Structure 1
Amino acid sequence: MVEVIHPFYESHRGAMEAAMRHRLELAGSMLRERAHLSDIDGIGQEVMDEFGIVLTQIPYVGGAASRMTDFFMRLLGFIAISRVLRRHGVPVAVIGEIEREAYKAQLLTIPEAERLASGRQFMSSENQRLLREQAAKSHREEFPDDFVYDFVEPGPGDEFEFGIDYKACGFCKFAARHGDDEILPNICGLDFDAYAARGIHLERTQTLAGGASHCNFRFSSLSLD
């Protein structure tokens, strides 16, 4: 049976593949020096081939109507990188370091003003209202492979501005289905850099991938003075 890409992801395939190639370029020296790989072009082609497989596996969770679609589109490509590097014997911890540094470098290619504006929008009261609405909607579980989460208001003495508790994780479901449990924590590690690049401090002390009952994301604005 020939696997097919969902039409929504097919329509974004060019941009997603371009982002993957950019990550591989940024990771090139690290693949040589830390993973001790020499055929970087060959590794890159293996990753792009594996990414083609991942594209057929990405679950549809509502497309543009769901905020979680963007998480799948931006981060599941790292599964392809992890799969290939594991096949070449690279330790999971080293893979995680390479992926985080390549992702951070990629994020920092976006102009600072643009990144910080995106962060302010995320922390805005308008976006918090949207997050509350989408959190409530997530409990309907319209798409079985989607995330389920609660919006968290700060209590007395809390220093965060708001939080999200993920009760079910789309990445965990994906990893369990496709045998990627070992490399899943590397995806979790990318969150800190993604938010920091936008001027947001993320505090998280537990994850579903690590065996906890939920992932406890807590957000506050970074002081940029």
Structure 2
Amino acid sequence: MTEVHPFYETHRGAMEAAMRERLDLAGAMLRERTHLSDIDGIGREVMDEFEIVLTQMPYVGGAASRMSDFFMRLTGFMAISRVLLRHGVPVPVIGEIERDTYKAQLLTAPKAERLAAGLQFMSPENQALLRQQAAESVTESHQKEFPEDFVYDFIEPGSQDSFEFGINYRACGFCKLAARHGDKDILPNICGLDFDAYATRGIRLERTQTLAGGASHCNFRFSRLAAD
């Protein structure tokens, strides 16, 4: 059996705990929206599937890469999607359950902590890091070393733009993962999680196209949400 990459193995306990928390939060939604009877059994199936997903997660640079965090946060939803799809739950319903579950999980963190993370993401220092990693992602040497990684450009706003900065993802690690393991149908559900991930941190994400939807790139545009 394929082993879990050592980097992800060191974070395995935290990822499994996050999955169990998600399943607890999703329990009532699963009962109400899927009409499945054995929700505990579904949870066990999801955790078993997550063990498989862990072996499939691509290594993109570990702690040195900001994209590692995305994989560790979101690939668990691939396990949820796979199991619910096997039980006949429609893809749009799966997407709604996952998005509501993820939002509920994100909101368990104190508001001050979430907003501080959002300010850090929008900070000039982080934008400088994003520029640096974007420039590195497109190099031949990086793509050779990490072929499953994201490839992206940092986008500066024009004089008529309302966003503070943007990222155009030209290649997506989740798309590569989904293509390899037959998850293309459920991939858009993973994309949908991005909006709440940023909104709960006080960031407005605008995006009109995705690689998963057949576009040439995903056009992320970021700005600060107005304070409550």
Measure the CA separation in 1 of the matches of 2:130 and 2:80: 30
1:165 corresponds to: 168
2:47 corresponds to: 48
Q: What residue identity is the alignment partner of 1:126?
A: E
Shift of 1:43: 0.3
1:103 aligns with 2:102: yes
Unaligned runs of 5+ in 1: none
1:35 corresponds to: 34
How many pairs are equivalent? 224
Shift of 1:38: 1.4
2:217 corresponds to: 214
Shift of 1:52: 0.1
Q: Secondary structure at the match of 1:34?
A: helix
Shift of 1:67: 0.3
Shift of 1:148: 0.1
Unaligned runs of 5+ in 2: none
Q: How does 1:1-225 map to 2 (within 5 A)?
A: 2-140=1-139, 141=143, 142-225=145-228
Shift of 1:150: 0.2
CA-to-partner distance for each residue in 1:104-158, whole Å, 9 max, x for gaps?
0000000000000000000000000000000001012130000000000000110
Measure the CA separation in 2 of the matches of 1:184 and 1:63: 23
CA-to-partner distance for each residue in 1:61-91, whole Å, 9 max, x for gaps?
1100000000000000000000000000000
Runs of 4 or more consecutive aligned structure 1 residues displaced over 2 Å after TM superposition: none
Shift of 1:224: 1.2
CA-to-partner distance for each residue in 1:164-191, whole Å, 9 max, x for gaps?
0000000000000000000000000000
Measure the CA separation in 2 of the matches of 1:38 and 1:16: 26
Shift of 1:37: 1.1
Measure the CA separation in 2 of the matches of 1:106 and 1:38: 24
TM value normalised by structure 1: 0.99
